Homo-oligomer: A and B are copies of this chain.
Amino acid sequence: MLKPLGDRIVIEVVETEEKTASGIVLPDTAKEKPQEGRVVAVGAGRVLDNGQRVAPEVEVGDRIIFSKYAGTEVKYDGKEYLILRESDILAVIR
């Protein structure tokens, strides 16, 4: 299991289905970089200057929208993940 540190969050990128107007599924290079993901693991949160930790606002399983190009891609156990800082997450889809 991947346990992110501090304010880091591990996500799986969610491929959003993308078709042209005429219904043709686009090959990978013709699509925009995806912005959606599902939270896989959550760090303990960042430490404030008063010593307090701020628990992240997201939970495992949350579907999120994140900043394009944010984070670091890692491969673990044959699968690809993205490790973001919580501040790279824009919103949760509920």
Contact = CB atoms under 8 A, between A and B. Distances in A.
Given A51-B54, A57-B44, A86 B1 contact: no
Interface in A13-29: none
Q: Chain A, interface size: which category?
A: 35 or more
Contacts of A41: 91
Nearest to A46: B47
Interface string A52-67: 1010011000000101
A3 B91 CA distance: 5
Interface of A: 1-6, 8, 10, 35, 41, 44, 47-52, 54, 57-58, 65, 67-68, 72, 74, 76, 83, 86-87, 89-94
